[in-house]
Amino acid sequence: MYMTGLDTIYKERRKFIIIGLTGRTGSGCSTVGELLSKHSFSEFNPPKPKSNNFINDEERKYRIVYGFLKKQWCNFYHIKMSDVVSTFILDLSFEDFDKLYKSILTNPIGKNNPELDKKLKQCYEAYNAKRESSRLYAEENENNPYNSETYNFYFNLLPEFTNKLKKILNKMEIGSYTRLYQKAGNNIRKSGTANCNSYDSNKIYLFSQRVNKLIKILRNKSKTSHENVCVVLDAIRNPYEAFFFRERYSAFYLMSISTENETRINRLLSQPRISNDDIKEIDSQENPDSLKGEDRFWSLDLQRCIEISDIHLYNPDEKGKYREIKYQLVKYLSLIMHPGIITPSQDERCMQIAFNAKLNSGCLSRQVGAVVTDENCSIKSVGWNNVAQGQTPCNLRRVTDLLSNEDDPAFSLYEKNNHPFRKRLGKIYSFSHNSNNNFNGKPISYCFKDIKNSIDGDKNQVHTRALHAEENAFLQISKYGGVSINNGYLFTTASPCELCAKKAYQLNINTIIFIDPYPGVANDHILNCGINTPNLKLFTGAIGRAYQQLFEPILPYKDELEIGMGLNIPNQKKLLIQKNEKLEQNNKKLEKKIKKLEKKLSQMSNL
């Protein structure tokens, strides 16, 4: 079959894709993983597009991506992170595994069940031997870890083991499987083994490296099968796992799945023997109140994972139909395979500007961006969380400058003159003037709020130096002349706090589009009150680097049409001019011939 250069370029994009899923438990990561692993487009069965009577251009765009993906569907290998945890569990001896799983049991009956213990041991030892064989082969053949036996273990037998283990453990004690895998996962990220919780910074990426080995097996398999390697990782719950794949593969996209918190909780409660207390425990594991020091490198942190996602999907409660999530998957799978096949949505354009704006923030904790538009989504202002104009952002101020009375304009009167504050700051940091050498040349900054709250023994958020992004965007409008934003839109890369929610309400903002729900009472107490309540909308779309990757065409579409369809649209006027010129030349030749013939005829008549 003849292939154009165009076919070759886009075939390469379809040959290798990695999608990492992230989202809070109950949002729908497993659902998306299962949908992506469908063997055919008809089995995937997305909603059909309209063929006419379109309400807006988004419906026309959907018709385009639907038609494209119908021809280009590729089913994904579904790699579950629980199966990867199982490989580390199988690396243990049965005695070590026995101690590990019994350490998470709270019911004495579960700890003393000889029949289930025997069944568990038989199951474990059968798969442990197969794991050992596959591990040895992979170590001996590092450059090509694929053979049929290894593939069969990791992609067929391993999920089988995880499911069997889940059933046995939950018979011993309900919820024991979840607790075991959470504990083992944390141990792996901390120490590199499932049964040790001693932190080793050299093992931070060991879990991700194990996942990467499975991807390498698939890539080596494709060398003989010539199949596409499309992989979905279900699910990434530590941001540094996402960074690991992002830095290695340009074809990696982190996709967050979100829904309303009430919907998520109802889904979990509909599962057998799940209580509200269980959900609270899951949420506390996935979103710790505060992470200190190097705990950030191994702990689950769903908020940060959602924050750094490339593509945000919304999974509403549709009673098992999944129409909305399929609609979105059709769009973004098509864009991954063929960048620029459609243009961004209105929400994506505005949120991308908010995303870019947040990078201006000098806050040491978190960068947030916001955009305010009128009712027609025409942008009126941009803001990010930062100090007031004329003050120095926190990331540009050094502890040593304050303690040695340098860079005077960067610090407040309070910071320069308050003795308890300076004493506490000096004690906490205890640095010399050359201490930046111990921080690899990076400046040593400090958070004023943290030091002040440390002195007061409080968690007061009023002590922040920075304006919030939403508040800053609102103030920009009044600062530079003022325009109406009545019934307008607020786009924020986080979600408004109680103070910013009040301002949005007062300004009669019609809709707030946000990415990550604020944990306070801004929604239930402030926004859902009164008679002009704003609409709250979870953002769906591509932002950040993915916005550029997905919407920038590799080739102008006009050129694609010319190459792919063999189109040649001639310049009709130019052709007519050329034709006339040719006719004139022929006429001149004929005139010359006529003159020659007339001359000959004249000569013959004179004879």
List, for residues 218-249, the tens digit of each pLDDT value.
999 998 888 999 999 998 999 999 999 999 99
- Total count of domains within the chain: 4
Grade residue 104 by pLDDT with cuts at 50, 70 and 90.
Answer: confident
Same domain, 489 and 602: no
Domain annotation covers residue 168: yes
**Predicted local confidence at residue 521, as pLDDT:** 66
Same domain, 300 and 376: no
Grade residue 61 by pLDDT with cuts at 50, 70 and 90.
Answer: very high
Mean pLDDT of 302-313: 94
The C-alpha atoms of residue 365 and residue 81 are separated, in whole angstroms, by 29
> What percent of the chain has a predicted confidence (pLDDT) above 90?
61
**Predicted local confidence at residue 377, as pLDDT:** 94
CATH number of the domain within which 511 lies: 3.40.140.10
**Predicted local confidence at residue 113, as pLDDT:** 74
- Mean pLDDT is lowest, of 164-178, 405-419, 431-445, for 431-445
**Predicted local confidence at residue 26, as pLDDT:** 92
**Predicted local confidence at residue 322, as pLDDT:** 93
**Predicted local confidence at residue 3, as pLDDT:** 61
Domain annotation covers residue 88: yes
The answer, yes or no, to whether residue 22 has pLDDT greater than 70, is yes
Task: State the first-to-last Cα distance of the chain, in angstroms, to the nearest integer.
Answer: 72
CB 522 within 8 A of CB 470: no
Same domain, 310 and 203: yes
Among 411, 441, 463, which residue terminates a domain? 463
Domain annotation covers residue 421: yes
Same domain, 146 and 208: yes
Cβ neighbours for 575, distance < 8 A, ≥ 6 positions apart: none
**Predicted local confidence at residue 537, as pLDDT:** 92
Q: What is the pLDDT of residues 537-561, one digit of tens each?
A: 999 999 999 999 999 999 999 888 8
The answer, yes or no, to whether residue 140 has pLDDT greater than 90, is no
The answer, yes or no, to whether residue 584 has pLDDT greater than 70, is yes
Same domain, 106 and 220: yes
**Predicted local confidence at residue 188, as pLDDT:** 96
Same domain, 362 and 470: yes
The answer, yes or no, to whether residue 364 has pLDDT greater than 60, is yes
Domain annotation covers residue 66: no
Please give the structure tokens belonging to residue 54: 């379109």
The answer, yes or no, to whether residue 144 has pLDDT greater than 70, is yes
**Looking at per-residue confidence, does 140 or 493 come out higher?**
493
The answer, yes or no, to whether residue 435 has pLDDT greater than 60, is no
Grade residue 430 by pLDDT with cuts at 50, 70 and 90.
Answer: confident
Same domain, 446 and 594: no
Give the CA distances from residue 61 to residues 137, 311, 375, 495, in Å, rounded to whole numbers and listed in that order.
Answer: 48, 18, 23, 28
Domain annotation covers residue 141: yes
The answer, yes or no, to whether residue 433 has pLDDT greater than 70, is no
Which of 3-7, 531-535, 544-548, 598-602 is the most confident on average? 544-548
- What range does the domain containing 294 cover? 19-37+76-317
Helices then strands, each counted (H, E), the chain: 27, 11
Among 317, 333, 367, which residue terminates a domain? 317
pLDDT averaged over every residue in the chain:
90
Same domain, 589 and 502: no
Same domain, 588 and 454: no
**Predicted local confidence at residue 77, as pLDDT:** 97
Same domain, 499 and 593: no
Grade residue 482 by pLDDT with cuts at 50, 70 and 90.
Answer: confident
Same domain, 167 and 238: yes
Domain annotation covers residue 401: yes
Same domain, 166 and 262: yes
Domain annotation covers residue 11: no
The C-alpha atoms of residue 226 and residue 472 are separated, in whole angstroms, by 53
In this structure, the number of other CB atoms found within 10 A of the CB of residue 490 comes to: 28
**Predicted local confidence at residue 185, as pLDDT:** 92
**Predicted local confidence at residue 605, as pLDDT:** 78
Among 521, 538, 555, which residue terminates a domain? 538
Domain annotation covers residue 129: yes
